[in-house]
Amino acid sequence: MDMVWPIVDVNSVNRFSGTALLPSSENGYAKTVQYCLASGVSVNHINRLGWTALHEAVILGDGGYLYTLVIQLLIEAGADKHIKDRQGITPYEYAKQSDQTAVVHLFEDKLVNDLTLEDKLFVLYKEEYYDEALVMTQEALSRDNQKGNLHFWKGFILQEAKNYKSAIIAYRKGLELDTEDIQFYFYIANCYRLMQQPEDALKTFDVAIEENPENSFLLYHKSNYLRELSRHPQAIGVMKQLLDKSPERTDYLFHKANSLRASNKHRDAIQTIDLAIALDGDNDLFTEHRNQSLKLLET
């Protein structure tokens, strides 16, 4: 039967002038990505950082099971892997630079074209046939329970069906197979987020970050969640850690400046956005932010 998708406002944009598709791709909200595309949101819309949804999913993703799924949805909808951002870099080039092998294979169309188990699960997921997908996953796990991708799919299907506790159990099984496969921490934290258990979500991030201190993916998404919770002082601390690793990241500077502004630290916000302006002086997103902070400082 034909699915009736929720309608997404195709004209709505965020502070980056990005449609709903861009932050959904950034955060790995695959179903929202699907709904955006079904509603006619432009797949190649470029925000004021010069990023498309593909840029968001590659730069701010980890190339794991979830982000590969998101990127597959975008590619199916006609996303252009060759659009350059303000640094002149394409999503395809970012994927190669960050060794996102599965994503590179997607871009190069090197994945197996036969209707594999994952292809079938992908179709069932898109059509929201979660019961059928879960049965298929369980049958596959009964034959071989040593494959991380199957534990991801089981957890992800349960998560989409809002069975979050069972999803966490499935994700933990995937983590047990390889304790260094940190993507499962992200999935578990997101389940706690959906259950409105922020302390458990943050604790999950912290455990993962302590075990993988060099991994910026987890730090960034912890900062995103802290901003979502309006815990800006903590978010500022995390952004400082990220900027210590990558001082050239203007998106990090912009997020930090926003949290400083939300904390009524307007002078600090101006100093931070000045660093972004020094890196990309032609971007009026940053100069606008600076001018707004100056006005707030005067009030």
Rg (the chain; Cα; Å): 20
Give the separation between CA 136 and CA 131, rounded to whole angstroms: 9
What is the pLDDT at residue 10? 55
State whether the Cα torsion 217-218-223-227 is positive or negative. positive
Which token pair is 298?
Answer: 């005067």
User: What's the pLDDT at 19?
Assistant: 86
For range 52-80, the mean pLDDT: 98
Over the stretch 175-199, which tens digit does the pLDDT of each residue have? 999 888 999 999 999 999 999 999 9
Predicted TM-score (pTM) of this structure: 0.94
- 134-179 pLDDT, tens digit per residue, is 999 999 999 999 999 999 999 999 999 999 999 999 999 999 998 8
86-125, pLDDT tens digit by residue? 999 999 999 999 999 999 999 998 765 446 899 999 999 9
User: CATH number of 21-107: 1.25.40.20, 1.10.490.10, 3.40.50.10330, 3.30.2020.10?
Assistant: 1.25.40.20
> CA–CA separation, 114 vs 101, rounded Å?
19
Identify the pLDDT of residue 151: 97
Mean pLDDT of all residues in the chain? Answer: 93
Spatial distance between the Cα atoms of 191 and 152, rounded to a whole number of angstroms: 13
CATH code of the domain occupying 230-299: 1.25.40.10
Give residue 215's pLDDT. 92
Q: Which two tokens stand for residue 132?
A: 């059928």
Average pLDDT over residues 211-237: 97
* Domain ranges across the chain: 21-107, 230-299
Query: Which band of pLDDT confidence, cut at 50, 70 and 90, is reported for residue 3?
Result: very low
What percentage of the chain carries pLDDT values higher than 70? 92
d(CA 55, CA 206) in angstroms, rounded, equals: 26
Contact 246, 252 (CB under 8 A): yes
Query: Span 24-40, mean pLDDT?
Result: 97
Percentage of the chain beyond pLDDT 90 is: 89
Predicted pLDDT of residue 16: 59
Answer yes or no: same fold for 21-107 and 230-299. Answer: yes
